Structure 1
Amino acid sequence: MNAPRTLLVAALLSSFMLTACGKKEAPSAAAAPAPTPAAPTKIVVGLDDNFPPMGFRDEKGALVGFDIDLAREAAKRLGAEVEFKPIDWNAKEAELSGQRVDVLWNGLTITEPRKEKIAFTTPYLENRQIVVVTAASPIKAKADLAGKVVGVQEGSSAVEAVEKDAAAKSLKELKKFGDNVTALMDLSAGRLDALVVDEVVGRYYTTKKPGEYAVLDEHFGTEEYGVGVRKDDTALLGKLQQAMDDMKKDGAAARISTQWFGKDIVK
């Protein structure tokens, strides 16, 4: 047997085996767990700053209100700074989706159309759309609104509540206002026959002027308030929900509610 040829064959076989062994794939490493989203350091809250008692300016121009206090408490629990940014409430979805605000927190009603664009926390307050008239008004029921001018705040859930009600077809006009304060002024001046408004807002104003207004027994439906965030901002939604749940459990939400409404009305 030719020794050199034997050595050559042996060397080639050894090289082939080493190469084949080198091509074996190493076992794949387990996928690393996704990092926990960092807690927000700042939350920009979009609101209508003329919506008492939820969010409004006091006589010194400072922003105050039930939702203001709730948002401040939630942000404190998240270790985040909170900034309140007054916006055109009629363009709230655009402000949120355009990332000019992080949260809509100002008596925001949960509706099916809004749920298509906004992610909501669980409801924290129940509200009704009440009908406010002057104390001397002959209007005593919804049927009496036929042929009358009824006011609502533009962009509010009152618009949808009235428009989907059978009584809407009989109205002379559904007049939309930038805010409820102006609408109430028109009601007092006789330029409006009635105003449909969130109960928490309507009751706040009417109790400030006893004897000037009356509230009908009938209303335009019950609704619920929630905190709204962008649909893809699931991390912030989860943290806000946890903060709200904790505030309900430890009594902080009840304390804030009692300060503004005289009793705990938080769901």
Structure 2
Amino acid sequence: MKKTVSILLASLAAATLFTACGKKPEAPAAAAPAAAQAIVIGLDDNFPPMGFRDDKGELVGFDIDLAREAGKRIGVEVQFKPIDWSAKEAELSGKRVDVLWNGLTITEERKANILFTTPYLENHQIIVVTDKSPITSKAQLAGKVVGVQDGSSAVDAIQKDGDTAKAIKEIKKFGDNVTALMDLSAGRLDALVVDEVVGRYYTGKKPGEYRVLEDNFGTEDYGVGTRKDDTELMAKLQKAMDEMKADGTAATISTQWFGKDIVKK
């Protein structure tokens, strides 16, 4: 009996050993794919043709297309975040957005807190009035109510023209230019000072309703902005922008939105 049991135990041990030796080792678990890098771009989503929502509610625009192309070139996902444009520097410094890219004017004051690319577009602060308005020059804004978008460079442009600024009765600030134009049409404003690319986009859609004066509040440049210490990201964005200008991609995007190449080389 003992002999039989011993033989049985030996057989079981051999079988166990054979099974263990023949068993394939388990494949190591596949590593989880690394999360794609992303940058968050802050913008005013009511600023056509630079960045705005189309009839389907989707973000479109000249700056939107430029930013998406730049993202592809530097290998990052681009996410767009609509923000209160008057609080853009706080959004950037608070790291709620990584980049400001939406018709952002380069000014000496902003350079204190924002790192800019080289200019990619030249802009003017134009004066828009209704077609029936008697105003034909900047000097005739004296005693008038003039609208601007809050937080836009239009505010600074007017203030730099000291005599005109003092003569204006009131500078009325709006959250966006669409509302300001509605007030202009309704007679609650005498004029609107606005970025040329935006002003001409709107006025072109309603021929015979508005008029753009020959006078303006000066020339300025648009740039892309990051935090001052984000030098690595800035270098990548600048390289992508330079390449887009050199190979004609920026010109193609410009032509799609403006009918011609207006990109500053």
TM-score (norm 2): 0.85
1:219 counterpart SS class: strand
Deviation by residue 1:13-39 (Cα, 9 ceiling, x = unmatched): xxxxxxxxxxxxxxxxxxxxxxxxxxx
Q: Which residue of 1 aligns with 2:138?
A: 142
Q: Which residue of 2 aligns with 1:60?
A: 56
Q: Which runs of 5+ in 1 are unaligned?
A: 1-39
Structure 1 position 112 matched with structure 2 position 121? no
Instruction: Measure, in 1, the Cα distance between the counterparts of 2:67 and 2:37.
Output: 14
1:140 counterpart SS class: coil
Q: Which residue of 2 aligns with 1:93?
A: 89
Instruction: Measure, in 1, the Cα distance between the counterparts of 2:230 and 2:191.
Output: 39
1:85 counterpart SS class: strand
Structure 1 position 78 matched with structure 2 position 74? yes
Match of 1:123 among 114, 119, 122: 119
One-letter amino acid matched to 1:202? G
Instruction: Measure, in 2, the Cα distance between the counterparts of 1:266 and 1:55.
Output: 16
Deviation by residue 1:32-51 (Cα, 9 ceiling, x = unmatched): xxxxxxxx821100000000
Moved over 2 A (4+): none
Instruction: Measure, in 2, the Cα distance between the counterparts of 1:72 and 1:43.
Output: 11
Deviation by residue 1:193-222 (Cα, 9 ceiling, x = unmatched): 000000000000000000100000000010
Structure 1 position 199 matched with structure 2 position 196? yes
Deviation by residue 1:91-113 (Cα, 9 ceiling, x = unmatched): 00010011110000000000000
Structure 1 position 181 matched with structure 2 position 175? no
Q: Which residue of 2 aligns with 1:35?
A: none
- What is the RMSD computed on CA atoms of the aligned residues? 0.7
Structure 1 position 236 matched with structure 2 position 233? yes
Instruction: Measure, in 1, the Cα distance between the counterparts of 2:54 and 2:212.
Output: 25
One-letter amino acid matched to 1:73? E
Q: Which residue of 1 aligns with 2:98?
A: 102
Instruction: Measure, in 1, the Cα distance between the counterparts of 2:180 and 2:207.
Output: 18
Deviation by residue 1:137-173 (Cα, 9 ceiling, x = unmatched): 0000011100000000000000000112120100110
1:151 counterpart SS class: strand
Q: Which residue of 2 aligns with 1:4?
A: none
Q: Which runs of 5+ in 2 are unaligned?
A: 1-35
Match of 2:263 among 247, 259, 266: 266
One-letter amino acid matched to 1:141? S
Structure 1 position 247 matched with structure 2 position 244? yes
1:214 counterpart SS class: strand
**Could you tell me how far 1:131 is from its partner in structure 2?**
0.1
Aligned 1:31-70 pairs, distance under 5 A: 41-70=37-66
1:246 counterpart SS class: helix
1:109 counterpart SS class: coil
Instruction: Measure, in 2, the Cα distance between the counterparts of 1:109 and 1:178.
Output: 17
One-letter amino acid matched to 1:81? E
One-letter amino acid matched to 2:81? K
1:201 counterpart SS class: helix
1:72 counterpart SS class: helix
Instruction: Measure, in 2, the Cα distance between the counterparts of 1:249 and 1:147.
Output: 48
